[in-house]
Structure 1
Amino acid sequence: MTYLTATTIDEQHLVAQIRQATTKANRNNVTRTQAYLAFYLEHQEVHWALLAHMVSRNGGWSMTDLKGEWLPLIMDAQAIEPFFWFLERCNWLIFHDAYPQLLLYAEMKRTGTDLTKLLAPLGVSIFMQSYWQEFLASKDSGRISHALIVNEQQYIEQRVVQKPFTLNRIFASFAFVAQAALSMNQVLIPYKAHPTDRRLSLIGLNVHHFPAVNSRVQIGKSLYQQIFGDRFRFEKIVSYCSRIPHTGSRADYWPHLFTPHYTPPFTEVEYQFRLDGHELLQGTPKIYSPRLQDAWTDYGHDPADGVDWFRDEKWHKVVKEPASLPSIDSDSYVRSLQWIEYGVKLVSVIT
């Protein structure tokens, strides 16, 4: 991939610093998730950083599910590693592309200088240059967020989603179809709706048609609206993100059901039900959901490949389009957990 070079020694030094900082923060899902939040808290006009933090939390939960209580019981052991690669590669690539943009913006904000010409040496699509230039003047948080949503989904399109390995080993697999059937493909946003609530509430959405880039853009825009569209809920979401460090375990949001601590399984051959609505059945242990550090070691990535994706002006129109996919709440999430249990139970009976 060929890009323009920075024109001065100072600019070359800045590009090198940004690349170094990005590599350091891109070590694993926990470090990149925290980096998004730290950036957002310092630059709250960049809404996308908070959206990315929350989506990255969900990516971590999906990664640890692969080594948790349920998925190893319904997935072929040979499928677990490819699924982790898919989740981790998408998470890594988006951070690799987006975080340099955030750091460059921070430098432009600090110096009051338009440095958007350095997006190209940082490997960022030409699609983003005009949006960052506009944002410097307008501070239109929604517009730059939508542009970043489009850009990052396009960035992983050729580099992961449309790779033959992904199409044949991930999307065409029984495990991917089963997860969709059991409503396991969800993005969740936790928040404490009222100060007296004992448990966190959830809002989010079911993820359908992930291989289609337009669907992923719609998902991103809808999540953005869920986070920022209601001021009361938004403040509660920020409070959750700031109070509860991301570990990768689903105990981060519902410790009454999930635990990061492994307990030996029941002695029975068949899986025994655990859930009774929002509660655990009396006498049953919590559902194992490990921390990322206990589930996976850091993954060594190949360099990002591919060429600039931007070829069609229609994507500028897509940035302007609103999106509002149907949301899910705590009750619908509990129903999906019960469906997962039924599926796990069925597999344990027939195998």
Structure 2
Amino acid sequence: MVDIFCLIKKKKKPVLPPFLLEIKDELKKKCKGLKTVTMKESDLTKAEKKLVQQILLQTRIKNENNVTRTQAYLDFYQRHPEIHWALLGHMVSRNGGWNMTDLKGELLSNLLSKQEQQSFFSFLERGNWLIFQDVYPQFLLYEESMKRQRQLFYLLPIFHVSTFMETIWSHFWKYGNPYILAIALVINEQSYLEKQVIQNHLFQKKVFNTIQFKLQDFFSLNHILFPYCDSEHEKRNIGLIGQTLHKFDSLHERILLGKRLYSLLFHKKEMLDKVVRWAMSQPHTGTRKDYWPHLFNDVYESTPGQPYRRRIKDCQIQQGIPRIYSPRLEYAWKNVTHAEADIEDWFDDWTIIDYLNKQDEDMNGEITHEYCETLEKMELAIIAKKAIFRPQ
């Protein structure tokens, strides 16, 4: 994976702060193969085997679909707010659910074929499932460590978690730095996704090489939105902050996006409180009606057979025109039975530690105008497509 990080290697190497030097030394040892002992289930005590099975069972139950995963992240964050990634993962997973239902919603269903919808859903669902089955056992092992007041991270290899994260969790247990843990989890999950999904030849063929995927940059479809409400009494007036990713197939860009999203959530406590307030008050269902019911509805309001007409102007539905159909996940897609993940540790380059350097970015993340422009572009694309393929 050395060349994957060439972008950061070409730049002048940043000076590592003292608290990262310990992580660096441990990761360098692992890269040199000085710590190659692997743990097998047969090496465990009876009590350890029972704990492992409990964690695997809980992970499997919560990993049923995007809605259950997303809720599990939020529930864990409520129990352990020191684990910042749990909230970040919850909010990003909400976006994953919205992207899934968009495929059956009124806009994208007019632009994509049935086969394309299925391929894109399989890609989104596989990634969402993989990340959860990797990260949730880590969370439960941390929770059990807290209960017993002794760290159990030596069990991480049983769950096929990267050796990178064993080092990071041990560091977190010792120093309690929430930023280091959160960004390390961003690095871990995106690197894991790179191996398991992005480099998968089937997804390369059916998703990344399709015209529709390449058009995502044009439409700016890769918006990550964080809804928020200013107070408990302002639930109708939901604001949006977020970021846009333009190179989904770039590991480097996805990691940097994760760092920016983390800053949006945790740089200012006032904004964090607003996002958490909304998340706690609005259960995740997969429909975009969850945050903007003035634009979206989970009931199909349009008259069947009628040609699509423009509806959105300045983030509002024009008077007397139906809202955009955005279904709930449970009605859009059935649950999927997944094949087991490949067992392979992505970590082989300690220089990824450069990503752990903190760089506070003072950005407001305002994305409402950009997002509404995207919706309007999609409407125009639908109208253009219907005009081109209209029977003469």
Letter in 1 for 2:125: E
1:57 aligns with 2:94: yes
When structure 1 is superposed on structure 2, of 199-208 and 171-180 the one drifting more is: 171-180
1:169 and 1:265 map into 2 onto residues whose CA distance is 33
Q: SS at 1:315's partner residue?
A: helix
Which residue of structure 1 aligns with residue 163 of structure 2? 126
Count of matched residue pairs: 349
Unaligned runs of 5+ in 2: 1-37
Q: SS at 1:121's partner residue?
A: helix
Asked whether the 8 Å contact 1:218–1:323 carries over to 2, the reply is: no
Asked whether the 8 Å contact 1:180–1:208 carries over to 2, the reply is: yes
Letter in 1 for 2:72: A
| CA shift for structure 1 position 266 | 5.5
Asked whether the 8 Å contact 2:267–2:360 carries over to 1, the reply is: no
Aligned equivalent of 1:261, options 299, 306, 328:
299
2:175 and 2:305 map into 1 onto residues whose CA distance is 62
2:362 and 2:70 map into 1 onto residues whose CA distance is 24
Which residue of structure 2 aligns with residue 14 of structure 1? 51
Letter in 1 for 2:297: T
Give TM-score scaled by structure 1 length: 0.95
Which residue of structure 2 aligns with residue 177 of structure 1? 214
1:281 and 1:3 map into 2 onto residues whose CA distance is 62
1:202 aligns with 2:240: yes
Query: Are residues 261 and 73 of structure 1, via their aligned partners in 2, closer, same or farther at CA, if it must alter by over 3 Å?
Result: same
| CA shift for structure 1 position 323 | 7.2
Alignment of structure 1 residues 1-351 onto 2, 5 Å? 3-5=39-41, 6-193=43-230, 195-196=233-234, 198-265=236-303, 267-269=305-307, 271-320=308-357, 322=359, 324=361, 327-351=365-389
Residues 152-197 of structure 1 deviation map (CA, whole Å, 9 limit, x = unaligned):
1111111111011111211111111223211211100000135557
Q: SS at 1:62's partner residue?
A: helix
CA RMSD of aligned residues (A): 1.7
| CA shift for structure 1 position 311 | 0.6
2:67 and 2:236 map into 1 onto residues whose CA distance is 26
Letter in 2 for 1:17: Q
1:289 and 1:89 map into 2 onto residues whose CA distance is 21
Give TM-score scaled by structure 2 length: 0.86
1:55 and 1:257 map into 2 onto residues whose CA distance is 21
Residues 245-292 of structure 1 deviation map (CA, whole Å, 9 limit, x = unaligned):
0000000000010001123446433x2001121211111000000000
| CA shift for structure 1 position 328 | 4.0
Letter in 2 for 1:248: G
| CA shift for structure 1 position 124 | 0.5
1:206 and 1:257 map into 2 onto residues whose CA distance is 21
Residues 300-330 of structure 1 deviation map (CA, whole Å, 9 limit, x = unaligned):
1000114111111111222225375974422
| CA shift for structure 1 position 14 | 0.7
Letter in 2 for 1:48: W
Letter in 2 for 1:4: K
Which residue of structure 1 aligns with residue 5 of structure 2? none
Q: SS at 1:300's partner residue?
A: coil
Letter in 2 for 1:116: F
Query: Are residues 153 and 196 of structure 1, via their aligned partners in 2, closer, same or farther at CA, if it must alter by over 3 Å?
Result: closer
Asked whether the 8 Å contact 1:26–1:32 carries over to 2, the reply is: yes
Asked whether the 8 Å contact 2:131–2:193 carries over to 1, the reply is: yes
Asked whether the 8 Å contact 1:260–1:288 carries over to 2, the reply is: yes
Q: SS at 2:242's partner residue?
A: strand
- The percentage of aligned residue pairs carrying the same residue is 41
Larger-Rg structure: 2
Asked whether the 8 Å contact 2:302–2:322 carries over to 1, the reply is: no
When structure 1 is superposed on structure 2, of 82-91 and 328-337 the one drifting more is: 328-337
1:81 and 1:323 map into 2 onto residues whose CA distance is 39
